[in-house]
């Protein structure tokens, strides 16, 4: 079967981190476009609510509650998804979280959890899905990164590093897959108005994430992901203007060095 992305009707998308924010908005949008969606995250009640909402609007959705930091759970999710919905045509690796503050103050268990979900889970799911999609002759993997992957900035040391890893992995795999019917894209949003900020903000340590007021709605990102499914590309920025971000570090990194202490300080 060749992967035909002109029509999404009846194709299967697996969206991780679908219990809120970008993942939920993406699942709604893909279902609206006719895709069957498998919703994955830890909060079963949220996933069930979303599945019911999508079904009520005539779509097809199945919730699978799982903690994706666990390797066995990841394998279970893929097996269950294939069993209930069929082979996955589009994998959206979106589950993840951030943490804002001095990197030296981040507890190691929290750091490990971030590495496990932002990096290990996304990498593992990508590798399995890529092999299956190649064997079936088509598919598309979209890895949700962040502009933070291009900005090794104070306050988001580990978060930015996990996203840099995802950028590099996705770009290299995209290059390996060129000319085949399997697509790999990396999506790089700026600030998005989701629960991400409640979790990442660190007021106890005196730190607040700057720039939240410029955040866009998750629905905008969901629509961009649906557009990416229709027209696969190596990388997409949301908003599109953020395409300039990769130039900031090489051109102005020295200014950010100078401003470092002012940009991250206790209030
Ligand atoms: N918001 C932003 O400004 C922004 C900007 C750039 C990139 N991003 C990226 O966008 C992605 C989605 O973030 P968001 O903004 O939509 O935040 P969000 O609303 O907090 O959503 C995060 C999702 O990840 C899931 N998740 C977290 N840990 C998990 C685990 N161990 N197992 C399974 N699912 C897990 C959460 O579900 P459960 O808690 O139910 O498990 C939730 O559905 C993240 O990768 C984030 O880095 C966000």
Map out the domains of the chain as residue ranges. Answer: 12-263
Give all strands of the β-sheet with 36-41 in edge-to-edge order.
Answer: 60-65, 36-41, 12-16, 90-93, 139-144, 182-189, 235-238
pLDDT, residue 207, reads: 64
- What does the alpha-carbon distance between residue 160 and residue 146 come to, in Å, rounded to a whole number? 8
Q: Which residue has the higher pLDDT, 180 or 3?
A: 180
**Residue 243 confidence (pLDDT) above 70:** yes
Tell me the whole-structure pTM to 2 decimals. Answer: 0.95
Give the atom of ligand 1 at the shortest distance from the alpha carbon of 159: 47
pLDDT, residue 227, reads: 97
Distance 164 CA to ligand 1 centre (A): 17
Q: Is 237 a catalytic residue?
A: no
> Region 246-257: what's the mean pLDDT?
92
Residue owning the nearest CA to atom 20 of ligand 1? 196
Look at residues 98, 102, 130 and name the one whose alpha carbon lies nearest to residue 195.
Answer: 98
pLDDT, residue 3, reads: 44
Give the atom of ligand 1 at the shortest distance from the alpha carbon of 193: 1
Residue 151: which pLDDT band, with cuts at 50, 70 and 90?
very high
Q: Which residue has the higher pLDDT, 6 or 231?
A: 231
pLDDT, residue 2, reads: 41
Look at residues 76, 93, 91 and name the one whose alpha carbon lies nearest to residue 129.
Answer: 91
- The response to whether residue 192 sits with its C-beta less than 6 Å from ligand 1 reads yes
- The response to whether residue 191 sits with its C-beta less than 6 Å from ligand 1 reads yes
pLDDT, residue 1, reads: 36
The best mutation among 196, 210, 219, 242 to test binding of ligand 1, ranked by most ligand atoms within 8 Å of the C-beta, falls on 196
**Residue 5 confidence (pLDDT) above 60:** no
Q: Per mean pLDDT, which range of 34-43, 108-117, 251-260 is the poorest?
A: 251-260
- The response to whether residue 195 sits with its C-beta less than 6 Å from ligand 1 reads yes
Q: Which of 3, 100, 159, 174 is catalytic?
A: 159
Please report, for residues 16, 152, 156, 178, 206, the alpha-carbon distance to residue 100 in angstroms, rounded to integers and kept in the order given: 23, 13, 5, 36, 10
**Residue 186 confidence (pLDDT) above 50:** yes
Residue 208: which pLDDT band, with cuts at 50, 70 and 90?
low
Distance 33 CA to ligand 1 centre (A): 23
Phi, psi of 35 (to 5 degrees): -80, 150
pLDDT, residue 121, reads: 98
- The response to whether residue 189 sits with its C-beta less than 6 Å from ligand 1 reads yes
pLDDT, residue 200, reads: 86
Q: Cα dihedral angle (224, 199, 170, 74), rounded to 10 degrees?
A: -110
Distance 21 CA to ligand 1 centre (A): 7
Residue 267: which pLDDT band, with cuts at 50, 70 and 90?
low
Distance 252 CA to ligand 1 centre (A): 29
109 contact partners, CB below 8 Å, separation of at least 6? none
Distance 166 CA to ligand 1 centre (A): 15
pLDDT, residue 99, reads: 94
pLDDT averaged over every residue in the chain: 93
- The response to whether residue 224 sits with its C-beta less than 6 Å from ligand 1 reads no
pLDDT, residue 265, reads: 73
Q: Per mean pLDDT, which range of 92-96, 163-167, 195-199 is the poorest?
A: 195-199
pLDDT, residue 202, reads: 72
CA angle, 183 then 184 then 186, to 5°: 145
Q: Could you report the per-residue pLDDT of 79-106, keeping only the tens digit for each? A: 999 999 999 999 999 999 999 999 999 9
- Tell me the fold of 12-263: Rossmann fold (3.40.50)
Residue 212: which pLDDT band, with cuts at 50, 70 and 90?
confident
Look-up of token digits 């998804």: 81
Beta strand pairing call for 90-93 and 12-16: parallel
Within the chain, what is the greatest distance between any pair of CA atoms?
A: 58
Residue owning the nearest CA to atom 19 of ligand 1? 21
pLDDT, residue 162, reads: 98
> Region 197-206: what's the mean pLDDT?
75
């Amino acid at each position: 079967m060749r992967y035909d992305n002109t029509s999404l009707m009846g194709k299967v998308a697996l969206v991780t981190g679908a219990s809120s924010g970008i993942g939920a908005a993406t699942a709604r949008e893909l279902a609206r476009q006719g895709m069957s969606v498998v919703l994955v995250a830890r909060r079963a009640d949220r996933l069930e609510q979303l599945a019911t909402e999508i079904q009520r609007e005539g779509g097809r959705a199945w919730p699978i509650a799982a903690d994706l930091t666990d390797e066995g759970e990841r394998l279970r999710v893929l097996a269950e998804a294939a069993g209930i919905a069929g082979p996955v045509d589009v994998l959206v690796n979106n589950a993840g979280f951030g943490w804002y503050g001095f990197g030296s103050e981040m507890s190691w268990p929290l750091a490990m959890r971030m590495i496990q979900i932002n990096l290990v889970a996304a990498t593992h799911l990508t590798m399995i899905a890529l092999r299956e999609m190649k064997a079936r002759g088509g598919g598309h993997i979209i890895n949700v990164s962040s502009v933070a992957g291009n900005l090794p900035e104070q306050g988001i040391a580990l978060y930015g590093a996990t996203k840099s890893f995802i950028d590099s992995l996705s770009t290299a795999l995209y290059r390996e897959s060129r000319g085949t019917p399997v697509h790999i894209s990396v999506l790089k949003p700026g600030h998005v108005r989701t629960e991400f900020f409640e979790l990442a903000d660190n007021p106890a340590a005196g730190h607040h994430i700057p720039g939240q007021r410029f955040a866009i709605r998750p629905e905008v990102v969901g629509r961009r992901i649906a557009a990416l499914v229709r027209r696969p590309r190596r990388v997409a920025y949301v908003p599109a203007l953020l395409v300039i971000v990769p130039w900031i570090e090489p051109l102005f990194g020295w200014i950010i060095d100078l401003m470092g202490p002012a940009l991250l300080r206790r209030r």
